[in-house]
Amino acid sequence: MHFVISRSDSVRIAEVLVSAPGDSPNTDGIHITESTNVVVQDCKIGTGDDCISIVNASSGIKMKRIYCGPGHGISVGSLGKDNSTGIVTKVVLDTAFLSETTNGLRIKTWQGGSGYVRALRFENVKMNDVANPIIIDQFYCDSPTVCPNQTSAVQISQIMYRNISGTTKSAKAMKFACSDTVPCSNIVLSNINLEMKDGTVETYCNSAQGFGYGIVHPSADCLSSHDKNYQAEIAELAQPSREDIVHTEL
């Protein structure tokens, strides 16, 4: 890790440059754990792992004007490893450029975990040749041996993606691989436009519920939806309350 924010409250990181080779292993740029009310702004991060990683017991995290690349993208997780509990809430990414990263906006959890990821908003993000621009992976397995199938999972809900555009390296521009027993719910897509330079793009869903409005390309019709009445509620919940970050308003 280059920067670690751990067991802290009310932290601002601004105008930081992190530079490591794209093939350098486990070199996260900024890692946030067990912390609240953290603002990361105007940072340029190139690394061999996640540009920013947010893990258990973190809440009220705001990222603004972030450049990421090379690297593995901006990640919540991993969470739930070794049947542990993971909780992350109220995270906002507003205005970012990701270039030639292996992932874009990623939520990753291990099978067998518990807890929840709730009220996240990713908006105003441009992608350039990103392999997995939007991805939720509840079958994450960073292990030399095969991870066994388990029924418990970290619950993922109230996730909003808004104004996301650019180019993808993979045909599956959006991937929502959620737990069969604990489906993802209230995924909201608004004004998404992801293209592949040579080929067509699609959305992959497994046990994912939600809906799109405005332009959504590729189509996310595979999201099963019972949630349209919650559109305004989700938009509100996805914003950290003002009093939580009043000391660090951007």
Helix (DSSP H) and strand (DSSP E) numbers for the chain: 1, 17
**3-state DSSP: the chain helix, strand, coil percent, rounded to 5?**
10, 55, 35
pLDDT tens digits, 127-147: 999 999 999 999 999 999 999
Residue 91 in domain = yes
> What residues are annotated to the active site?
72
Residue 247 counted as domain residue: no
pLDDT given at position 225: 75
**Alpha-carbon 172 to chain mean position:** 16
**Residue 59 bridge partners (DSSP):** 36, 89
- Three-state SS annotation for 159-197: EEEEEEEEEECCCEEEEEECCCCCCEEEEEEEEEEEEEC
Work out the pLDDT band at 241, boundaries 50, 70, 90.
very low
3-state secondary structure at position 152:
coil
Is residue 139 helix, strand or coil? coil
**pLDDT for the residue 236:** 53
Q: Is the omega angle on the peptide bond into residue 58 within 30 degrees of 0, that is, cis?
A: no
Number of domains comprising the chain:
1
State the Cα–Cα distance between residues 250 and 201, nearest whole angstrom.
35
Q: Is residue 249 part of a domain?
A: no
Tell me, what's the pLDDT at 231?
54
DSSP character at residue 230: G
In a domain, 211, yes or no: yes
Is residue 141 in some structural domain? yes
Stated pTM of the model: 0.91
Q: What is the predicted pLDDT for the residue at 224?
A: 83
Q: How buried is residue 235: exposed, middle or buried, by Cβ count under 10 Å (0-12/13-18/19+)?
A: middle
CATH number of the structural domain spanning residue 224: 2.160.20.10
Q: Is residue 248 part of a domain?
A: no
Q: Is there a domain that residue 96 lies in?
A: yes
- Region 55-74 average pLDDT: 98
Give the pLDDT of residue 163. 98
Enclosing domain of residue 103: 3-242
pLDDT digits (tens, 9 = 90+) for 75-99: 999 999 999 999 999 999 999 999 9
- Position 242 pLDDT exceeds 50: no
Question: Does 143 reside within a domain?
Answer: yes
